Structure 1
Amino acid sequence: MTTIFQQTFGQGKPIVLVHGWAMHSAIWQTFAEQLAERYRVTCIDLPGHGLSRPVSPFSLKEISTALSAAIEDPQCCWLGWSLGATVVLDLAGRFPERVGSLILLAGNPRFTRAYYSPIGEQAPASGAWPGMDAQLLATFSDRFANNAQSTLFNFLALQVHGLADARTLLKELKTAVYSREPPDLETLRQGLRILREADLRPVLAELKIPALAVFGGKDTLVPADAGVKMQQLLPSLRLSVLDQAGHVPFLSHPSELAAIISRFMDQS
């Protein structure tokens, strides 16, 4: 069994925080402590990230199986950020008995732009699914293969691009990320493949549990427009946009985000 590193803070309704690509649970530290004033917050390291042992392959099936086994609380609220949103959606599809509610933070069930519907039908260009350009992600993956360190730094910079306090946030982000050893290159490559290929729109459309999606209005990786499309698939989805936030609202707008999460938790 894969050992999943986890830390728990506070008491109350359980919520599990799942980080994004190339990150680890220390990215949540300050925000988790803020949430822990009202809830029991568990931060985990994805397999092969931070202090968690790797799985092979680093696939959604293996990741979800490992997380389901690692968290004892049934029916938790699972909050996934970026790649973590893809993971918790997959977890809800495979192990619905383990998921009481979902929060998708700066996440997209189809990370790259698509021109077809979740059931395979061709969609008009005007109805395209909002996401990162697939060719841009492919170029990013190629650059990563050639210079992983430089590409990772550029990825961090993208997450705060266009924000008024971008320099301060980037320094905070780098400090958190580099506080632990980075994942091995193969795990990172496979994580990019998940972002490039995964399509969890059918899972989203079939959810029977409370779900919330939160976007940053200035996010350069996950467009807030995806939220409208997600709500068309799942009309019960609660949607919130932090207009001045980018891809890391838990760093740039922690109080506003905590308030959004608290309203959802208290009503779920």
Structure 2
Amino acid sequence: MTYIHTEIYGQGQPLVMLHGWAMHTGVWRDFARRLAEYYQVICVDLPGHGRSEILEPFGLENIAEAVLQAIPVQEFSVLGWSLGATVAMAIAERAPQRIRHLLVLAGNPCFMETQDWPGVKSRTLDGFAELLKTDVQQTLMRFLALQVNGLAHGKALLQTLKHALHECPPPPVTVLQAGLDILKISDLRPFISNNASTISLILGEKDTLIPLSCGEAVRALNAGVNVHVLASAGHAPFLSHPQQLLAAITHTL
């Protein structure tokens, strides 16, 4: 069985946290400890990220199953950020009986833009994939910069992200590439449409990766989805607007 690294803080209702592409638990550990004043927070390093072992093949179904096996409680709420949000939706689709509440943070059931769906332009993901072939470090730095682009105190936030990222070696190129492929091809809109459980979508007003119109599009799929918009926040609100995000989560759960 693939070793999946977890870090657990606090007591109470379990809340599982799944980080984004190329990251690991360290990127939001400080925020997790703030959440731990209210919940038992279970931070998970996705396979091949941080301190977790590589999973082959690195596909969405395999990742969802590996993460589910690593979670030490039967029922839990799950907060997924960016790529972690895609994994969280896949987990909820796979094991709905274990999910109390699904929180999609800066995520999108169809991450890539289509003719009828708002998302990241294909050339953006393709550009990262192409650069990965020659310069992993530059790819990661560009991705971090995109997350704080246009924000107040963006330079300081970028330094925080860089420092957190360097706590662990970066994932192998094959894992990074496979993660981009997951974002590019996954379409969990049918799951959103047909899901009767409690779902919350939390968006940053100034997120350069997940457009605000995604909220309206998701609500059109399922009017029961709760949509929260964090004013002036970007793609990593746990760093830039932790109090706003904390309030949105505690209000929801």
TM range (shorter): over 0.9
Q: Deviations over 1:80-104 (max 9, x none)?
A: 0000000010111112122121000
Does residue 181 of structure 2 align to residue 193 of structure 1?
yes
Q: Which amino acid aligns with 1:8?
A: I
Deviation at 1:140, TM superposition (A): 2.1
What does residue range 92-131 of structure 1 map to in structure 2 within 5 Å? 92-115=92-115, 128-131=116-119
SS at match of 2:133: helix
CA contact (8 A) 2:204 2:229 kept: yes
Instruction: After TM superposition, give the deviation of residue 135 of structure 1 in Å.
Output: 2.3
Contact kept in structure 1, 2:132 and 2:173, CA below 8 Å: no
Q: Does 1:224 align with 2:198?
A: no
Give the Cα–Cα distance (whole angstroms) in 2 for the partners of residues 221 and 23 of structure 1: 16
Alignment match, 1:59: 59
Is the Cα contact below 8 Å between 1:68 and 1:98 reproduced in 2? no
Where 1:66 maps in the other structure, the secondary structure is helix
After the TM superposition, which segments of 4 or more aligned residues of structure 1 sit over 3 Å from their partners? none
Cα distance in 1 for residues equivalent to 2:2 and 2:145: 32
TM-score of the superposed pair, with normalisation by structure 2: 0.98
Cα contact 2:64–2:91 (8 A) shared by 1: yes
Q: How far off its partner does 1:243 sit? A: 2.2
Deviation at 1:131, TM superposition (A): 0.4
Alignment match, 2:123: 135
RMSD: 0.9
Tell me the amino acid that sits aligned with residue 219 of structure 1.
D
CA contact (8 A) 1:48 1:55 kept: yes
Structure 1 residue ranges without an equivalent (≥5): 116-127
Could you say which residue in structure 1 is the equivalent of 2:247?
259
Task: Tell me the CA shift for residue 74 of structure 1.
Answer: 1.8
Matching residue within 150, 154, 157 for 1:166: 154
Match of 1:6 in 2: 6
CA distance in 2, matches of 1:139, 1:184: 18
SS in 2 for 1:220: coil
Equivalent residue number for residue 118 of structure 1 = none
**Alignment coverage as a number of residue pairs:** 253
Name the TM-score, length of structure 1 as normaliser.
0.93
Letter in 2 for 1:59: G
Partners of 1:76 and 1:206 in 2: CA distance = 20
Q: Among all aligned residue pairs of Structure 1 and Structure 2, give the percentage whose two residues are the same amino acid.
A: 44
Match of 1:145 in 2: 133
